[in-house]
Structure 1
Amino acid sequence: MTRFLIDPPALLVIVRQGAPIHHDHQLVAPHAIRVEALELLLAEVEAGTLSEAAALGLHDAMTAVKIRTLGDRGSRGTAWKLARKHGWGTLGRAEYLAIGVLQADALVALDQQLAAQAADVLPLVPLAVLFSAD
């Protein structure tokens, strides 16, 4: 089984496409992923590009996506070390990468800043990998 760390924009694409994740794959992410994805939907509603009903429907679909969410002392400590090593001023994206280092084989990131930060930390793979065998 291959474990993939995903970010909130990737989660939204997964639910919008409605395609199932291949049975040989497991998704992992920090506990906050669904709240962060919901914040992205809220921004779309506020911008007038998505109706509230559609946003709430996507939220329901997000809750059905099987994701092993993590966020314990070990991942927070690893996030701290990554942030200090790389000179990052915040821990949000560092926590994603920490969980990737500890629990994932690769990262699927549509957030360009997270993808750039992952360059020497974790392999980056395209979203399409989630829907097919390795």
Structure 2
Amino acid sequence: MTRYVIGPDVALRLARDEAVIPDEHQILAPTLLRSQLLSLLYQAVRCGETTKKDAARQLDHVRGLRIRLLGDRVLQSTAWKVADRLGWSDTYAAEYIALTQLQADAFVTLDAELAQAVQGLVTTAPIEALFSSNAV
């Protein structure tokens, strides 16, 4: 089983595409994902990119994806160290990187700058890896 950490950008794409993740993959994310996804969908409704009904459907889709959400003390401590090492102004993205370091095989993001910034700290994978039978 390959374990992937996904960011809110990937969760949103999975929701919009109504994607199904194969059983041979386990999806992980910090508990922070729920709030970030809710905020992204709220913003999309506010600026007219989607309807409230579609946003609710997308949120329900992500809730059904079997994402294991984690946020313990060890994760937070590791996120602090990651953010400090990279000189980041907050720890939001660092939680995803910390979780990848602690429990996953790869981090999946659509953000090329973030993927570049964490090169050497974690393995990154394209979103297509989530649908493939090939492990990272």
TM over 0.5: yes
Q: Does 1:81 align with 2:81?
A: yes
Q: CA deviation at 1:55?
A: 0.6
CA contact (8 A) 2:108 2:127 kept: yes
Match runs of 1:51-70 below 5 Å: 51-70=51-70
Q: How many residues align?
A: 134
Please state whether the residue corresponding to 1:37 is helix, strand or coil.
Answer: helix
CA contact (8 A) 2:107 2:125 kept: yes
Please state whether the residue corresponding to 2:124 is helix, strand or coil.
Answer: coil
- Paired with 1:115 and 1:56, the residues of 2 have a C-alpha distance of 29
- Paired with 2:15 and 2:86, the residues of 1 have a C-alpha distance of 32
Aligned CA RMSD, in angstroms, stands at 1.2
Q: CA deviation at 1:46?
A: 0.9
- Unaligned runs of 5+ residues in structure 2 are none
Please state whether the residue corresponding to 2:40 is helix, strand or coil.
Answer: helix
CA contact (8 A) 2:96 2:107 kept: no
- Paired with 1:58 and 1:87, the residues of 2 have a C-alpha distance of 33
Q: TM-score, normalised by structure 1?
A: 0.93
Please state whether the residue corresponding to 2:85 is helix, strand or coil.
Answer: helix
- Paired with 1:83 and 1:49, the residues of 2 have a C-alpha distance of 32
CA contact (8 A) 1:7 1:111 kept: no
Please state whether the residue corresponding to 1:55 is helix, strand or coil.
Answer: helix
Report percent identity of matched pairs: 39
Amino acid at match of 2:77: G
Q: TM-score, normalised by structure 2?
A: 0.92
- Paired with 2:56 and 2:18, the residues of 1 have a C-alpha distance of 15
Q: Does 1:40 align with 2:40?
A: yes
- Paired with 2:27 and 2:33, the residues of 1 have a C-alpha distance of 11
- Paired with 1:24 and 1:114, the residues of 2 have a C-alpha distance of 26
Match runs of 1:107-118 below 5 Å: 107-118=107-118
